[in-house]
Structure 1
Amino acid sequence: MQSLIEIQQKLLPDLLVVLKKRYLILRQVMLSDMIGRRTLAASLEMTERVLRAETDFLKTQGLLHIEAAGMRITEAGQRLLDEMEPLYKQMFGLSDLEERIRKRYGLKQVIVVPGDSDSLPHTKRELGLAGCAVLRKYMEKDDVVAITGGTTLAQVANQLTTQTPLKGNWFVPARGGLGESLDYQANTLASTMAKRTGAQYRLLHVPDHLGEEAYTTLMQEPNVREIVEVIRSARIVVHGIGDAMVMARRRRVDGSFIEALKAEGAHAEAFGYYFDRNGAVVHRMPTIGLRLEDIMATEVVIAIAGGSSKAEAIAAIMRFGRDDVLVTDEGAALGIVAQLDEEEKQA
């Protein structure tokens, strides 16, 4: 027997269009905390006239508060969003994307949030919220959690909360700093997560990109060795995924190094390692922090990355085969599945 959703898609397609529109309005308001009509219309690529009619309807249903300063979601609206999430994913194909990616790469769980963080900035915040939920699901008492840096992981750190303080847990940076904005460095994110959850943290005050001599010297320091031992004992690793060339430039390496990466076919970067499109490591860097062998021994590895531009990089890291959970967005997931379709055609 056909499901109710399948029947609606055939007989009442317009109803699903309206449902999706109103769901996206509520979700965007929720992600924004407080937002004006003009800003909301622009972010949803909707005319203000159409948006006004929809938000007025949602207000009459008790789902939105509309004030002079803007609009915000009500508790009833938040509950409705939570209840609608699995239905939305099923209706608009996100559940299918999740399951296909999960099966192809042998993952425990895949979460796909609506939107594309390349074009919709608020989608990155939703990636962070989904990442928080996954981390809370897998975290246990007295765990050590290692986290990498980056803008997406910053969204996780800034939104992480727990009902009870995690007094015995530790958050640590997976690696040294990249020399970029302090807000996005692993040290900052580890301390933020600890403070927001009542946990403890340790910091690693060394650069990410080291030469062999500097690496050897620093690893002889007792204080450095001590924190490195804690980092390498992490039961959970939470990491982002980057385009290989973008990450190389962020590390401010010279042009010859970038050319060498191109020649080696580097497509993705994670944990400070560069991978080709098949998931093979093409370059390792001396690092004070997590090594690849530590990642292989880690019990739970969670990747959080989105944006259609990162689809190939994410697929490459999934082919490496060490992640347990992937949190991504619709833009990246569609790109990954398009690659899977192409692979199947060529098989």
Structure 2
Amino acid sequence: MRDILDIQKQLLPDLLETMKKRYTILQHILISGVVGRRTLAVSIGSTERVLRGEVDFLKEQGLLQIDASGMRITDAGRVLLEKIEPLVKDVFGLTEWEELIRDRFGLKQVVIVPGDSEVSPHAKKELGRAGALVVRKLVKEDEVIAVTGGSTMAQVADQLNATASMKSCWFVPARGGLGESVELQANTVAATMAKKAGARYRLLHVPDHLNEEAYQSLIQDDHIAEIIQFIRRARMVVHGMGDAMVMARRRKVDPETTSSLQREGALAEAFGYYFDRSGRILHKMPTVGLRIEDIHEMDTVIGIAGGKSKGEAIVAVLRHGHEDVLVTDEAAAAEIVRSLTS
């Protein structure tokens, strides 16, 4: 396929550009659900005049439906996008990066979506859609699935659809609640995923950041202890990854610990653990939920994170060596590849 693409790039470069343009239009409409022409034009950086011709063509092909409320993708359009995705990834140059990152870190699968999810709401939604597809593909019946919080995980939850195998599953938070917007907390993400999947869920109503005395007190409570044991039955975990210093601020880590993390070169945070460039754990927050040893025993660990600033953090977590699948975006992948080849 790559040989054919190379020939097309030389002899028919306009053809590939047209395909990328039309794919981008269909992808934006798929993610948006229903969207107006003006909004779509702004989103993809086009003019309404240019967009009108492309939209008319896609409608004639039966790929789009247009009514008073806006444009929406047809079933035929959805099928076409699924079939063409591997080809488009080759055109964007993402397949080569997926293979490089997968092989270098010994992962089972790497999925890279176009764009930068830190600056593009569309790319953020596409990252969530890709993460949801991976979860649907890998989930098994009667599985307990632990999930973390954050804006990317909230997008994954929003994009999740039911499958027959998921209806017998349980979704649970990987840890207690972070002191941030309710919609971004692990409890909310777990509940949303369960509702979208037609599955069941259990929640953990405890703060994420605890002092040692409060932590020891909570885990003695019979109800809390029972839920924690249930969470630790999880065989799949779906989690985000963050920049260490950004997450330390969000989690209101004390100044002394924050300074220590900076001195020791902390780059990444995941599950309440802070990692340096080599993947070594520098610090563990006293949190209720999954422990690192639980993660190590999982059947499937899926990390989902994107954005240029997350590149180094993702590398640090991958070097810890216990991820199975990475779902990321083009901007983060470029930073990961740069770190591997520099």
Which position in structure 1 is the counterpart of 2:298? 298
The structural deviation recorded for 1:68 is 3.4
Q: Percent identity?
A: 61
The structural deviation recorded for 1:279 is 1.0
Q: Give the TM-score, by structure 2 length.
A: 0.96
The structural deviation recorded for 1:81 is 1.0
Of residues 92-101 and 33-42 in structure 1, the stretch that sits farther from structure 2 once superposed is: 33-42
Q: Which amino acid aligns with 1:222?
A: D
Which position in structure 2 is the counterpart of 1:77? 77
Alignment coverage as a number of residue pairs:
342
Which position in structure 2 is the counterpart of 1:252? 252
SS in 2 for 1:3: helix
Q: Distance in 2 between matches of 1:163 and 1:288?
A: 30
Maintained 8 Å contact 1:179/1:251: yes
1:116 aligns with 2:116: yes
Q: Which amino acid aligns with 1:3?
A: D
Q: Distance in 1 between matches of 2:2 and 2:78?
A: 30
201 and 43 in structure 1: CA distance in 2 versus 1, 3 angstrom threshold: same
The structural deviation recorded for 1:164 is 2.5
Q: Distance in 1 between matches of 2:278 and 2:232?
A: 26
SS in 1 for 2:238: strand
Structure 1 stretches of 4+ with a deviation exceeding 4 A read none
Q: Distance in 2 between matches of 1:196 and 1:25?
A: 26
Of residues 192-201 and 206-215 in structure 1, the stretch that sits farther from structure 2 once superposed is: 192-201
The structural deviation recorded for 1:116 is 1.3
Q: Distance in 1 between matches of 2:293 and 2:3?
A: 47
Q: Which amino acid aligns with 2:193?
A: M
Q: Distance in 1 between matches of 2:226 and 2:179?
A: 23
The structural deviation recorded for 1:254 is 3.4
Which position in structure 2 is the counterpart of 1:86? 86
Maintained 8 Å contact 2:140/2:166: no
SS in 2 for 1:178: coil
Report 1:1-347 matches (<5 A): 3-164=3-164, 166-342=166-342
**Structure 2 segments unaligned to the other structure (5+ residues):** none
Deviations 1:134-156 (A, max 9, x none): 11222111111110001111111
SS in 1 for 2:303: strand
Of residues 215-224 and 136-145 in structure 1, the stretch that sits farther from structure 2 once superposed is: 136-145
**Structure 1 segments unaligned to the other structure (5+ residues):** 343-347
- RMSD (CA atoms): 1.5
Q: Distance in 2 between matches of 1:141 and 1:84?
A: 30
Q: Give the TM-score, by structure 1 length.
A: 0.95
The structural deviation recorded for 1:184 is 1.0
Q: Which amino acid aligns with 2:79?
A: R
Q: Distance in 2 between matches of 1:233 and 1:80?
A: 39
Q: Which amino acid aligns with 2:302?
A: I
64 and 255 in structure 1: CA distance in 2 versus 1, 3 angstrom threshold: same
Of residues 163-172 and 91-100 in structure 1, the stretch that sits farther from structure 2 once superposed is: 163-172
Q: Which amino acid aligns with 2:203?
A: L
